[in-house]
Amino acid sequence: MRIRRIILIFLIFFIIGETMIRLDLHFHFFESHRFLLLNAAIKPSTVYSSLLNGSYLVSPGCYRIMILGDSWIYGGECEDDSVFSNYLPRLISANTSIEKVETLDLSKPYNDTWTNFEEMTEFMDKFCPDLILWFYTHNDVVRTRHLSVSKDSANASVQDTDKFKNQSPLVPVRDYLYSHFRLFGWIAGNMFLELRRYGIIFPGTDFHKQVVSSYENSLNWLEQKKILYNAVDICKMKQVELVAVTTADLSMLKHYSMLHEIEVNLEKLFAQKQIMTINLANHFIDNKLDGDKYAISKYDGHPNSAAQAILTRHIFARLKSAGIFENFTQKQRSY
- Our CA angle for 227, 231, 236, nearest 5°, is 150
Q: Contact 211/138 with Cβ under 8 angstroms? A: yes
At residue 314, does pLDDT exceed 90? yes
pTM recorded for the entire structure: 0.77
CA 166 to chain centre: 26
User: What region, left, alpha or beta, does residue 203 occupy, with left being phi > 0 and alpha being psi -120 to 50 degrees?
Assistant: beta
End-to-end CA distance of the chain: 91
Per-residue model confidence (pLDDT) at position 252 = 82
Per-residue model confidence (pLDDT) at position 13 = 73
Closest CA to 205 of 185, 231, 179: 185
For residues 23 and 110, give the distance between their C-alpha atoms in angstroms, rounded to a whole number.
28
Phi, psi of 100 (to 5 degrees): -115, 125
At residue 37, does pLDDT exceed 60? no
At residue 137, does pLDDT exceed 50? yes
Per-residue model confidence (pLDDT) at position 307 = 92
For 124, the 3-state DSSP assignment is helix
Give the DSSP H or E segment for 161.
Answer: none
57 pLDDT tier (thresholds 50, 70, 90):
very high
At residue 86, does pLDDT exceed 90? yes
For the ranges 40-49, 177-186, 286-295, the lowest mean pLDDT is seen at: 177-186
- Tens of pLDDT, residues 262-310: 778 788 888 888 999 999 989 999 999 888 899 888 778 889 999 999 9
Q: Contact 103/88 with Cβ under 8 angstroms? A: yes
What is the residue extent of each domain of the chain?
Answer: 42-160+219-334
Sort strands 101-105 and 276-279 into parallel, antiparallel or unpaired: unpaired
- Our CA angle for 133, 134, 137, nearest 5°, is 140
For residues 276 and 321, give the distance between their C-alpha atoms in angstroms, rounded to a whole number.
12
- Tens of pLDDT, residues 195-205: 777 777 777 66
270-278 LR contacts (CB < 8 Å, sep 24+): 270/228, 270/232, 270/244, 273/229, 273/232, 275/232, 275/242, 275/243, 275/244, 276/243, 276/244, 276/318, 276/322, 277/243, 277/244, 277/245, 277/246, 278/243, 278/244, 278/245, 278/246, 278/314, 278/315, 278/318
Phi, psi of 51 (to 5 degrees): -70, -40
Q: Contact 320/95 with Cβ under 8 angstroms? A: yes
Q: Contact 291/312 with Cβ under 8 angstroms? A: no
- For residues 187 and 311, which has the higher predicted lDDT (pLDDT)? 311
- Which superfamily, per CATH, for 42-160+219-334? SGNH hydrolase (3.40.50.1110)
